[in-house]
Structure 1
């Protein structure tokens, strides 16, 4: 079933899917299997590089929204959450976001699920790219340098993935 947010984007002509491209809010996207991101992390073997990749993705998106549509930071965070939730990673909820940082929870995290399926139950959190994505969004919204740490990870057997931003 198609998400209501994606339906709204398509109806408002803010998203298009053609043979040549996928475009949302006038920004091009590439569709790839989630397993390919898990495999990339295995190839790169550097958590900070994966975090930087995630920061780059979210900074590109949030910067584009702010520039093209002159959106306020709170609206950027809301739209980003909706986009994240249709991206295939899982269901994201901003539990807390304030001047000091925040807490983000992802239920049904497909990255963590596939990572665990391919590599077994992990001792440490593995969602480095998502941590970077969250860092990038918080930095763009709050306009200050932050650090995001995954405190709970489904690849370790935890119920959901919980990220703390400071």
Structure 2
């Protein structure tokens, strides 16, 4: 019986990973932002930047392909909260944003002064006006920012504790 234990264990582990992999649901969407298509005789080559090459063969009645270029990410992150410890938290939404960002700051009245800064991926600081709307809600006007990825950096000057929160600007 001992010679069968190792192959059986390998088979069970392989089967467990196979079942887990098949339980994921793929959505249809091409994620690439640039691409091209070339036709030479009966051969058609279509590709998108950042994607793998997909082989497609067709006849008058049948099409053979590997499917869509890339699955859509089916998770939408529109509201995010950042826990900086203590009795207060803040959330930044919507993410991605196009014009305005809202900052909800629970416990803003009782917390120590916090410095907020916005940086792009190259480390450049962007000065944006922050307008208080309600007790715990602030508005950040992002219309002057070009499309891209940014970080909201929160710093507590007394303790030098800080956190960075990523967000995306779309146009």
Instruction: Give the TM-score band, short-chain normalised.
Output: under 0.3
Higher Cα Rg, which structure: 2
**If the length of structure 2 is used for normalisation, what is the TM-score?**
0.25
Instruction: Say which structure is richer in helix.
Output: 1
**If the length of structure 1 is used for normalisation, what is the TM-score?**
0.26
